[in-house]
Amino acid sequence: MRQPLSIKELLNLLHQHRELIEMLFGKKEAVRKAELTAHFDLDEDKLDKLIQAELIHDNNHLITLDDRIYTFIEEILEIGEVTTAFITENMEGLLENIKYYEIDHNPKFLKNIKKHLHRIRSTTSREVIKLNKNIDDTYKNQSNYQIKLKELDKYKRKRDDILNLISETEFILRDSQPVLQQMGDIELSNQLLELRYNLVRNRDYLHEIQTQIIDYIYKIQYQNAIYKKIQRLKELKDYEELKYQTNFIEVVVGQKAILFQRRNPYKSRLSLDYLYSDHGYTIAHKVAQRLQILRSINRLPAGQINTNVAEGAEKSMQLNIPALVQKFKESKDDLFHFLSTFKFPKELGEIDMMRRMSLYVSISVDFDKELDFTSQMKYTEIKESKKGPVKRIGYALIYAQKELTKKSGKE
C-alpha cells in the first residue's frame, strides 16, 4: 500500500536521492538493483522507502523511475517529445476555459487559461526546432534516395500542420481579445505578448524551413540525375562503348577546374627556435638520414689506393698548392667546379678529371680550416678514360670561408 507523504517529506526524498533520480531519468531504461546499491551506496531500507513512496518501481530487481517524475522533469525543462496533437489539445483547452470564464469568473479558469497559453508557446517552439533538426538529419544521413524524398515530403506536411495551428491560435486570440482584456491580469497580458511574438517568430522559421525543404529536394533530384548519368557512363565503359558513343574524353580534357590542375606544393621555412627544440632535432635528423649527410661513426677500412689517384698526388706535388688555394679563395665558385674548370700551366701537361679529383680530396683535407663545408650535394658524370664508361659521382659543395673584416673602433 502506498505510504502517504507530506510536501516536506516528498521534497526531502527528492533532494536526498537527486543523483539516483538524475541517473534513472538520463538512462530512460531499467537499471539493476545491485548496480544502484553499489554505485550510490544505498541500503535496502532506503530503496524500499522510495518504492513505497512510488517514486521508483521495482520489477524483478529492475528499478525504473515513476512516469510522473519523468513528466514533471520534462515539462519543467521543456525537453520532452511533443506532437501537433498535443498542441491541438491545448488549443481546445484554451478555447474551452475562455468560454467557461465568460460564464463564471472563477479564478481556476483563469489559471487554466494561463497554463494552456504557456504550453502552446513552449510546445510550438519545441516542435519547430525538432522539425528543423529532423530535416537536416534526413538530408545528411539518409542514404536511400526514395526514402529521403518521402521523409522530406512527410516533414513538409508536418510543417503545414504547424503553420495551420499557429493561424488557428492567432484566430482564437483575436476572437477572444475582448474577454481576455476584461480579465485585467498582468501576468496574462505578459503571456499573451510573449505568445504573439513567439507565433510570429515560429511562422518565420517555418517559412525558412519550407525554403530549406525545397532546396534539399532540388539537390536530391540533381544528385540522383548525376548518379544515373554516372551509372550509364559506367555501363558504356564496361561494354567498351564510352569512347565511341559519347564525347566524354573531349569534355574531360577541356575541363579547367582546380581539381584537374597540377598541384604545386609550397615549402615553408622552419624557424631556428623550432629546429633547436627536441621535435625539430628529430625532424632534422630524419632529413639528414634521408639525404645521407650524417657522418658515419664506424668507418670501414679505406682499402687499396687507386693508382690514378697516386699518380695525381705525385703530379700535384709539382704544383704550387697554396697559390692554387689562394686563387680559389678569390673566386666565388665551389672547390670541385673550380678545379674541374681551372686552366693549369702547359708545363704540367694535361691534367685529366681523375687528377683534378685527387686535388679536390687533398685540398679538402689539408686546408679544411680555411674551407666551408656545406651539407649540399651535387652530381656530375665523368669518364676515367676517353673510351671508358660514364660514371655518375656526387660531391659536397665546399666554399672558401669568408674572412671577417675587423672594424676599427674609430670611424
Is 205 found in the same domain as 136? yes
Q: Of 268, 238, 362, nearest to 311 (Cα)? A: 362
Is residue 290, in this structure, part of any structural domain at all? no
Is 212 found in the same domain as 151? yes
- Asked if residue 112 lies in contact with residue 97, where contact means CB atoms within 8 angstroms, the answer is yes
d(CA 169, CA 162): 10
Is 223 found in the same domain as 119? yes
CB neighbours of residue 367 within 10 Å: 19
Cβ partners under 8 Å of residue 342, min gap 6: 324, 327, 356
Question: What pLDDT, on a 0 to 100 scale, did the predictor assign at position 79?
Answer: 65
Question: What pLDDT, on a 0 to 100 scale, did the predictor assign at position 204?
Answer: 92
Is residue 408, in this structure, part of any structural domain at all? no
Is 216 found in the same domain as 158? yes
Domain end marker among 76, 97, 122: 76
Is 62 found in the same domain as 129? no
Chain mean position to CA 274 = 26
Question: What pLDDT, on a 0 to 100 scale, did the predictor assign at position 304?
Answer: 52
Is 194 found in the same domain as 112? yes
Question: What pLDDT, on a 0 to 100 scale, did the predictor assign at position 293?
Answer: 55
Instruction: List 65's β-bridge partners, or say none.
Output: 56
Is residue 218, in this structure, part of any structural domain at all? yes
Say which residue the cell 680530396 belongs to.
361
Domain end marker among 61, 76, 91: 76
Is 88 found in the same domain as 190? yes
pTM of the predicted protein model: 0.48
Q: Of 370, 53, 220, nearest to 398 (Cα)? A: 370
Is 59 found in the same domain as 189? no
Full domain range(s) for residue 15: 7-76
- Asked if residue 23 lies in contact with residue 52, where contact means CB atoms within 8 angstroms, the answer is no
Question: What pLDDT, on a 0 to 100 scale, did the predictor assign at position 239?
Answer: 84
Is 194 found in the same domain as 98? yes
- Asked if residue 24 lies in contact with residue 56, where contact means CB atoms within 8 angstroms, the answer is yes
Domain end marker among 44, 76, 108: 76
Is residue 285, in this structure, part of any structural domain at all? no
Q: Of 66, 77, 79, 119, nearest to 97 (Cα)? A: 119
SS3 199: helix
- Asked if residue 113 lies in contact with residue 135, where contact means CB atoms within 8 angstroms, the answer is no
Is residue 1, in this structure, part of any structural domain at all? no
Is residue 260, in this structure, part of any structural domain at all? no
- Asked if residue 86 lies in contact with residue 123, where contact means CB atoms within 8 angstroms, the answer is yes
Instruction: List 379's β-bridge partners, or say none.
Output: 394
Residue type, 195: L
Question: What pLDDT, on a 0 to 100 scale, did the predictor assign at position 403?
Answer: 56
pLDDT tens series, the chain, 411 aa? 566 778 888 888 888 888 888 888 887 778 887 777 777 777 778 788 888 888 888 888 788 888 888 778 877 776 655 577 878 888 888 889 988 888 888 889 889 998 889 888 888 888 888 888 889 988 888 888 888 888 888 889 989 998 998 999 899 888 888 888 888 888 888 989 999 999 999 999 999 999 988 898 888 888 888 888 888 888 888 888 888 888 888 888 887 777 767 777 766 677 888 888 888 888 888 887 777 655 444 444 555 545 554 454 444 446 678 888 888 888 888 888 888 888 887 777 777 888 888 888 888 888 888 888 888 888 888 776 666 677 788 888 888 887 533 333 433
DSSP state of 300: P
CATH number at residue 25: 1.10.10
Q: Tell me how many domains the chain contains.
A: 3
Is residue 264, in this structure, part of any structural domain at all? no
Give the Å distances, CA to CA, from 251 to 17, 257, 394. 71, 12, 47
Cβ partners under 8 Å of residue 128, min gap 6: 162, 202, 205, 206, 209
Is 61 found in the same domain as 189? no
DSSP, residue by residue, 114-176: HHHHHHHHHHHHHHHHHHHHHHHHHHHH---HHHHHHHHHHHHHHHHHHHHHHHHHHHHHHHT
With 0-12 CB in 10 A as exposed, 13-18 as middle and 19+ as buried, what is 80? Answer: middle
Question: What pLDDT, on a 0 to 100 scale, did the predictor assign at position 280?
Answer: 84
Is 140 found in the same domain as 221? yes
Which helix (H) or strand (E) segment holds residue 103: the answer is helix 84-103
Is residue 222, in this structure, part of any structural domain at all? yes
Is 387 found in the same domain as 319? yes
Cβ partners under 8 Å of residue 385, min gap 6: none
